[in-house]
Structure 1
């Protein structure tokens, strides 16, 4: 499961990064730090590169391919538990500012996204995800729901991370299908939405072809 979690974090980071990836850091905390993390790190790098390169990427060649492209990989581990009994935290530096994304396991079987940047949340790490930083204002969720209803896009789940009411926040919508460009343009037109990113992850339980 940690291999699957790490790969999904890599896939997500690759889709959120703007420009060339220069550096990636993995921080293992709690239970996962007591394990051998070599395979987990390789799975993260494979996810980071597999949709960015024309050649086939797997856990055997991923780190060599990253090294050849000048991507610095740093790994730290601490068995000390924080807010979660186990945590994989990734930070990627690209041409844009660094992006931190963290995931964990609930009940030793459920993969969860629990952090983007400074914001804490709890949502699924699978399928189509719409991620949007915004200002936390009344009516925004209704605005998006109305637009997606008109375009026949079902919202399966919504997670919100914020530091204070009315301030900056980030939301993650798990969707049953990918919205059309027209639907996204309508959502983006709201003055309190800063940006939109669509992230596509494998269905829950789907493992990569190179695994086992």
Structure 2
């Protein structure tokens, strides 16, 4: 590997680390501020189904968590899946995130239980999971198929999270996040096939 190529890869990995590190730092800072300054009051800004005021929660939902344990459980899969998406192209991470946030949020807003509030980045994580799992099918390149197979092998059991299973867990967020990831895989896969 030539020196310029090595430097380019190093810069790319540093960029990935900065983006993911920035997102994770933001999530933890928000949770620390919410717990110690607002006593959890910020969680009221999550998605409140079929409430006009609850629509703002579509944007805020991924950044709010019920506890440090909730956030800690979301941190590692967020970084792992986020980085796997970035490996192909950094901009894919932002596109997949935006589509997933919107689809997951609107899905929860339309179908969530009345008088409930939905928070957490797990919808985003399920979107990343759906994207990585189906990207190979839509893109049909060797690399994307290989990543889809690896993700399916190691994380395939996550699929059960899209079903109602545990009280207090927003399966709607998981389900529509997963659907958003599949939509992103279809859109980006079609775009990449046209380019190639």
Q: What's the TM-score, normalizing by structure 1?
A: 0.24
* Higher relative helix content: 2
* Higher relative strand content: 1
